[in-house]
Amino acid sequence: MTKRILVIGGGIAGPVTALALRQAGFDPVVHEAYDESADGVGAFLTLASNGLSALETLGLAEPVAAAGFVTPRMRLSLGARELGWFPMSSTDPAVPSTVTITRAALYRVLREEVRRQGIPVEYGKRMTAAESDARGVTARFADGTTATGDLLIGADGLRSTVRTVIDPAAPAPRYVPLLNTGGYARGVRVPGEPGTAYMGFGRRAFFAYLPHPDGSVWWFANVPSRTEPTRADLAAITDWRGRLREVYAGDDLPAQALIDATADIVAPYPTYDFPTVPTWHRDRMIIVGDAAHATSPAAGQGASMAVEDAVTLARCLRSDRPTAFAEYERLRRPRVEKVVRMGKRNGDAKAPGVFGRLLLPLAIRMLPTRDMSWLLDHRV
């Protein structure tokens, strides 16, 4: 009998997990808390070479790459002073190049493929509880409905309900003292060319921009915030554009010009990660993606790790062994926790302070050429 699998979460990890499960011969159903109209929320992200390699197994690497643009390298600077050039893609020509894509475009590609394959997606289904027994697992939703399957996979993100159902003592996310924002600027010229991410240390905050082949410029900013802000704190920021202009005032970066040329700036949001989540699975339930191992955006690997998770889990479940969950965790935990540590280091470096800024050029020169093949060349 084909196993019916409940997938909780319809962001990135959920649809990719459902597609991988269908390819492995299962019957997945996706349950998303929000209405379908919420799918386009968010700015842009990077899908690294390793993430696209995993998408290749599902036939999705090409449509995803076509919806974004390749960004194989980055330039790091201290203001206008160049610190170095670094690869963002695998050096293996057989491995896809890193792609930058809007969340809305990525959601659209995944959603269209889910529909094409006839995988059911239930919207407005916010899970509140779940229980399992020898016959299966039942998820309960805020609207009073339930769903029953053979297995339940939590792809419900940083604030995962499935994680706390599996382990009520699961740790809370760790706050990384940075606020994130960004946008899309038009009608402004900046130094550089498409294919390169230009990342710079300002005096008070980190700033990056990526020229798009269509002439627009995509940018993001990481503003230090030592105290974790509440929703009320963020809502109280009424002139975010003005605050950003002040943060980058006097910096030898095109930050102010790009901020001024952006119609809609993404509302600031805090950064979190998980150093470790002790329990990934229990009985018939398991978590994937950010629910199990959220990493700072500074790693550039959040979406790619979720895609790798999905394909690996489907591969393990295909064996139909009772140890499939444990095998999945054995394969994934060391790798994803290493990526989380890397993201934390990268994020900490974005707010080096006055003395740290003075030492940055020396620190960059002393860095050995890092072999990133362990990360970018990985294939499931």
Residue among 78, 99, 103 at smallest CA distance from 269: 103
CATH code for residues 4-173+274-376:
3.50.50.60
Q: Model confidence at 368, in pLDDT bands (50, 70, 90)?
A: very low
CATH class (in words) of the domain with range 174-272? alpha beta
Cβ neighbours for 353, distance < 8 A, ≥ 6 positions apart: none
Range(s) for CATH 3.30.9.30 in the chain?
174-272
DSSP state of 213: T
Record the tokens describing residue 205, joined without a space. Answer: 């905050």
Give residue-wise pLDDT tens across range 126-177: 999 999 999 999 999 999 999 999 999 999 999 999 999 999 999 999 999 9
Q: Taking 80 as the threshold, does the pLDDT of residue 26 lie above it?
A: yes
Ramachandran region of residue 249, left (φ > 0), alpha (ψ -120 to 50) or beta? beta
Ramachandran region of residue 168, left (φ > 0), alpha (ψ -120 to 50) or beta? alpha
Say what percent of the chain tops pLDDT 70.
Answer: 93
Going from the C-alpha of 70 to that of each of 36, 43, 66, 214, the distances in angstroms are 28, 17, 9, 13
DSSP state of 102: E
Range(s) for CATH 3.50.50.60 in the chain?
4-173+274-376
Ramachandran region of residue 88, left (φ > 0), alpha (ψ -120 to 50) or beta? alpha
Q: Taking 90 as the threshold, does the pLDDT of residue 358 lie above it?
A: no
Cα–Cα dist 177/14, whole Å: 28
**Residue 267's pLDDT is what?**
93
**Residue 361's pLDDT is what?**
59
Q: Taking 90 as the threshold, does the pLDDT of residue 190 lie above it?
A: yes
Cα–Cα dist 283/200, whole Å: 47
